[in-house]
Amino acid sequence: MNNTDNQSLKRKIIEEMTVEYSGTLEKNFDLAKQFIRITKDGRVDILVKDKVSGQDRILLYLIGKLYAKEAGLASSDSVGNKELMNELGIPEGSLLPWLMALRKKPGIKQIKEEKQVAHYIPINLVELALKTIENKLKK
């Protein structure tokens, strides 16, 4: 591949394949706002926690963390098991199978942070997750 071809490919990738995370969050802001709030210390409050499944509460919490990080209220968009259990009131016996199920679909990702397991939702799944939850609540 010559230099001109490389430049052409580079331009094509930048124009057609790059994604702006804040753009996705901004596009879905009004939808997300129906379900979550973020405190000034970066904690996520799920407004519909009594109306959605445990898996959906986890998804909403992870989405809230993305917004908290984007706003500079949280240092990370990933969440450990302990935080999920404490903030959502989900016992470990329920949390672990739900997390496993959420990872099986094209879904959340698991990473290791300082000997701890943490989870995050890829930005490309935010809109799908929010719209799916919205549709479930309309029924």
Is a pLDDT exceeding 80 seen at residue 14?
A: no
Confidence of residue 41 (pLDDT cuts 50, 70, 90): very high
* pLDDT of res. 113: 77
Tokens 């939850």 found at: 133
Is a pLDDT exceeding 60 seen at residue 1?
A: no
The alpha-helical segments, DSSP class H, found in 47-117 are 54-70, 81-88, 92-104
Q: Alpha carbon 131 to chain centroid distance?
A: 13
* pLDDT of res. 105: 75
Confidence of residue 59 (pLDDT cuts 50, 70, 90): very high
CATH topology of domain 18-138: Arc Repressor Mutant, subunit A (1.10.10)
Distance CA(103)–CA(110), nearest Å, equals 8
The alpha-helical segments, DSSP class H, found in 1-139 are 3-16, 21-27, 29-33, 54-70, 81-88, 92-104, 126-138
Domain map (residue ranges) of the chain: 18-138
Is a pLDDT exceeding 60 seen at residue 39?
A: yes
Give the CA radius of gyration of the chain.
Answer: 17
Q: Alpha carbon 41 to chain centroid distance?
A: 18
Q: What share of the chain has pLDDT > 70, as a percent?
A: 93
Is a pLDDT exceeding 90 seen at residue 16?
A: no
* pLDDT of res. 7: 80
